[in-house]
Amino acid sequence: MIASALFLSETIEGLDDGAAFLDRLTPTEAARVRAAGRSVSLAPGESVFTQGDAHEGIFLIEAGRVRVYYSGPSGRQVTLAYWTPGHFIGGPSIYGGGFHQWSGIAIEPVRVTVLSSATLRSLIRQMPNFALCLIEALEAKGRCYTAMAQMLGTRSVIERLAQLLLNLGDLYGSSESGAVVIRRRITHDEIAALVGSTRQWVTMMLNRFRREGIIAIDKSHIRLTRPDRLKDIVLTEG
């Protein structure tokens, strides 16, 4: 299984931009960055940071996946992204102050390195290469949220669903007898939060896709039996 970040996008290209943002550092410099932070381990369901809490700095994901999401006043949640090892989340707030605009939660055992705002400022002053790494990672984050905003603003919800299924097929699928089998468990709630809809609507549309022979679903897999039809939906339905 590909350990890739996942967010709403018209293509899987660029999903993992920023995952290797510390690669321009030497091994000694990278070790120095991690030694300056604090290692924290979290169990599935534990919060990395919470919407409305004061910024502490940034969190480098060392292991596991983190779901980052926004909660509206009604309690409805929209998933912004699933972030994987190599990415940073939670900021940054270089000079302190401000509050988290969304939340991050561990969806499997997670280990992060916490770099406080004061630590970030110190590392930036001492290691110009680290400052460049941080800028590159911020640029990648900007492209991520731009891609998501473009999908939400210009694509209908059925187009977003079709594109997400195609992206999941590209990331986690394997070809079998002309179909694409997605070897990753994903719930209707998770799909709904990614495409910006409700679980009831997603269930209704997936049932429609099954009746039309576009997909088949069992307890562990989604099979894209007609990916060409999903591509048609992306291009033609509004």
d(CA 168, CA 151): 16
The answer to whether 233 and 162 are in contact (CB under 8 A) is yes
Looking at the structure, tell me whether residues 178 and 85 fall in a common domain: no
CA torsion angle 89 93 96 102 (round to 10): -50
The answer to whether 16 and 84 are in contact (CB under 8 A) is yes
Looking at the structure, tell me whether residues 172 and 82 fall in a common domain: no
Final residue before a domain boundary, out of 117, 152, 187: 152
Q: Among residues of the chain, what percentage have pLDDT more than 70?
A: 98
Q: How confident is the model at residue 56 (pLDDT cuts 50, 70, 90)?
A: confident
Looking at the structure, tell me whether residues 101 and 163 fall in a common domain: no
Residue 96 above 50 pLDDT?
yes
Looking at the structure, tell me whether residues 165 and 147 fall in a common domain: no
Looking at the structure, tell me whether residues 142 and 33 fall in a common domain: yes
| Amino acid at the residue 9 | S
pTM, full prediction:
0.91
Final residue before a domain boundary, out of 94, 128, 152: 152
Domain contains 97: yes
Domain holding 163, by residue range, is 157-235
Looking at the structure, tell me whether residues 109 and 18 fall in a common domain: yes
Say whether 233 sits in a helix, a strand or coil: helix
Q: How far is CA 214 from CA 40, 179, 210, 232, in A?
A: 43, 10, 6, 11
Give me the CATH number covering residue 129. Answer: 2.60.120.10
Tens-place pLDDT, residues 179-232 = 999 988 889 999 999 999 999 999 999 999 999 999 998 877 899 999 999 999
Residue 98 above 90 pLDDT?
no
Question: Alpha helix (H) ranges present in 51-174?
Answer: 117-126, 128-154, 157-172
For residue 237, give both structure tokens.
């339905």
Sequence-distant (≥ 6) Cβ neighbours of residue 3 within 8 angstroms:
84, 85
Q: Taking residues 31-50, what's their average pLDDT?
A: 97
